[in-house]
Amino acid sequence: MESEITGEGKPAEDSTPSPPPRHERLRTILHALRSNKGALAGAIIVSMFFVTALAVFIAGLLHTRITPYSPIQQDVGPALAAPSWAHLMGTDELGRDVFSRVVAATPNDMAVSLTVIAFSLIVGAFLGTYAAFHGGLVDEALMRMTDIFFAIPGLVLAMAIGIALGPGITNMAIALMVIWWPPYARLARGEALKIAHQNYIEAARLSGAGRFRILLEHALPNISQTLLVYASMDTGTVILIYAGLSYLGLAVRPPFPDWGQMVSAYQDYMVSVPWLPLFPGIVIALGVIGFSLLGDGLKDALGGS
Amino acid sequence: MNTVSFIARRLFLAIFVLLGVATITFILSHSLGGNPIYAWLGKAASQHPQLAQQYEAQYHLNDPLWVQYYYYLSGLLHGNLGYSPSRGFVPVVTVIEQTLPYTIQIAFFALAISLLLGVTLGVVAARYHHKMADKSIRAFYLAGICSPSFFAALILLIVFNLELHLLPSGGSVGINITAPTPITYIPILDALIEGNFAYFSSAIQHVILPSMALALVNFGVVVRVLRSSMLDVMHSNYIRTARAKGLKESTVFFKHGLRNAMIPVVTLSSILVTWLITGTIFVENIFAYPGIGQYVFQALTTQDYPGIMATTLVFALIIVATNLVADILYVVVDPQIRLS
């Protein structure tokens, strides 16, 4: 693919520079992460969350656990105990270990955010590029549809869809997928419009490549960078909205732990043990900060829009 | 394209979007527990067989979907949003009439605080960019943007109520304070008009924490946009001209720079309103503030389907209207803007 852009096609007068080869891009990213303290911090936080999520998930498959206590077992300590070495984040009203609950809930948020972002990336990239390249009715329909989605706040629509589907992590992930892809389609469309009349696309068209081949092999790789930068900055927002849905009781049923739901359950004990609802809240904020810093760093390094 | 046809086009788009939202809620109302009557009366429909029958006839629930769709839309146009099981089966419209003014109050103060905080810090960040002040401001707003609004609300509640005992923990006004007579139907405004200062000061005290919580998690976007637009503007030719004329740097910065850099903030305000309104769902619940957000929370936890569908529509209506106003303002503020 790269040879077509930089080689025979020779788009010397092309206004937009051709994207650098992939290994060079990777080097830019790594360099940016090393030189940008914020991005590095973001990368470390995000990796911590993913490693934890993965470890909890694998431990679950092996019927064991990595948390110090069972996240749902009651009376592992005195109820509403303050943080201590035995219970890093204290215990809740039923004597469950809060730290274990927070750790055990990590896979929920990570899985939901990854699924929603991956789905939006794929659907948005395809629809947006297709609309940009073929215009007409498809384009108009897509744009008007995204107008509608833009008018309703994501959380409210996700709530309405969520209540129709019923509570549950999977249903919330579906609700979020339904509402999440439109900005990606818009972004992909805008980016694809920029390259639609570039020489290498024309060349591919003249050489007899079919529409889908042009989309897949020529258009998508060239707009993927912008989309990925946007996606990395957007992941934190999914975590925030999912935490909101969870807080509203739409995601996980008690006794199973989930960050948002824990804040909502623990806020009743705020007067006597104010730290209790704050711990899961801090963890949510930390995760979002991680993705935000990482996304900002990638944007600086790769120059997204 | 001239201004009139631009506005006409926007208006048409707004109507189209609202129709789209109504279509979505119509589709959703048919997936609620299998019986579309739930969308109007909730699961309590079985306790009110007469009303259920009336609704089935009125909305033609036994007819083909497109017939139902027609009656659904015409019902909405007549302001019929069903009955709310979570509020003692009163019409949803009544609940919205009672709660919306409080949400407008919170949203207004939250917007005011967000803009005040955002513009001030944005200006400081641009003035001292890449300096310590800029970096600290970035850390501050990043922490805000990344926090869920319920988390910010809890922190404020713990600090200002439980620890410092400065502000009330919840409600819209202190007990035993007579409410003002409704004139504009927005209590704080009515109290001010009537001269009911006991109500006014108490209501202001009650609105500070919830609107602060909303502002804290949302003002960051104002800083971000204003800072970068300010930095762009300060590099433009007319700023160089102004400096070359020998104007004072503060005049150049505020009069020539800031005024032009504020244009993107106008558009941003409509997005901000969307976020603030959504945030009320969490914040009003924590502060027991009797607005539409608290109603949404209550409706969700009690499976009050009519309430959820209606509030989805109301939220969309507010947002479409805000966007329309922002679009028109944008043209007014910046006549150079290409109307396309």
Over residues B179-224, the pLDDT tens digits come to 888 888 888 898 888 888 889 999 999 999 999 999 999 999 999 9
A182 touches chain B (CB under 8 A): no
Please tell me the number of Cα atoms within 13 Å of A3 on its side-chain side: 0
pLDDT at A2: 37
Across A171-180, average pLDDT: 92
A288 to chain B: which residues are within 8 Å by CB?
A: 145-147
Q: Which residue of B has its CA nearest to A244?
A: B148
DSSP letter string, chain A: -HHHHHTTT--TT-SSPPPPPHHHHHHHHHHHHHH-HHHHHHHHHHHHHHHHHHHHHHHHHTT---SSS-SS-S-SS-TTPPP-SSSTT-B-TTS-BHHHHHHHTHHHHHHHHHHHHHHHHHHHHHHHHHHHHH-HHHHHHHHHHHHHHHHS-HHHHHHHHHHHH-SSHHHHHHHHHHHHSHHHHHHHHHHHHHHTTSHHHHHHHHTT--HHHIIIIIIHHHHHHHHHHHHHHHHHHHHHHHHHHHHTT-S--TTS--HHHHHHHHGGGTTT-THHHHHHHHHHHHHHHHHHHHHHHHHHHHT--
Contact A301, A29 (CB under 8 A): yes
Q: What is the DSSP letter of B45?
A: G
Percent pLDDT > 90 in chain A is 39
Q: Does A137 touch chain B (CB under 8 A)?
A: no
Give the model's pLDDT for residue B100: 94
Contact A152 B319 (CB under 8 A): yes
pLDDT bucket at A6, cuts 50 / 70 / 90: very low
Do B25 and A240 count as a contact with CB atoms less than 8 A apart? no
ipTM, two decimals, is 0.87
**pLDDT of res. B336:** 63
- pLDDT band for position A9 (cuts 50, 70, 90): very low
Question: Looking at residues A268-280, what average pLDDT do you find?
Answer: 91
Phi, psi of B28 (to 5 degrees): -65, -40
Closest Cα in chain A to B32: A164
Q: Do B29 and B36 touch, CB atoms closer than 8 A?
A: yes
Q: Which residue has the higher pLDDT, A66 or A243?
A: A243
Whether B303 sits inside 8 A of A284 (CB atoms) is: no
What's the confidence (pLDDT) of residue A122?
Answer: 93
For A157-197, what is the HEC assignment?
Answer: HHHHHHHHHCCCHHHHHHHHHHHHCHHHHHHHHHHHHHHCC
Q: Name A65's bridge partners.
A: none
Low pLDDT (below 50) residues in chain B: 339-340
pLDDT of A40 higher than 70: yes
What is the pLDDT, as a whole number, of residue B334? 66
Using an 8 Å CB-CB cutoff, list chain B residues near A260: 148, 150
pLDDT of residue A283: 96
Nearest to B300 among A144, A248, A285 (CB): A248
**pLDDT(A32) > 80:** no
CA distance A166 to chain B (A): 9
Contact (CB<8Å) B148/A152: no
Find which of B155, B159, B300, B311 to mutate to test the A interface (most A CBs within 10 Å of its CB): B300
Give the closest-approach CA distance of B283 to chain A in angstroms: 11
* Residues found in chain B: 340
Whether A105 has its CB under 8 Å from any CB of chain B: the answer is no
**Residue in A140, A250, A260, A66 with CA at minimum distance from that of residue B148:** A260
Q: Answer whether A243 sits within 8 Å of B319, measured CB to CB.
A: no
Average pLDDT of chain A to the nearest whole number:
84
Structure tokens at B212: 């602060």
Q: Are A267 and B155 an interchain contact pair (Cβ–Cβ within 8 Å)?
A: no
Beta carbons of A285 and B320 less than 8 Å apart: no
| Chain A residue closest in CA terms to B147 | A285
Q: What pLDDT, in 10s, does the model give residues A93-148?
A: 898 999 999 999 999 999 999 999 999 999 999 899 888 888 788 888 888 888 88
Given this model, what pLDDT does residue A15 score?
46
Query: Does the CB of A39 have a partner CB in chain B at under 8 Å?
Result: no
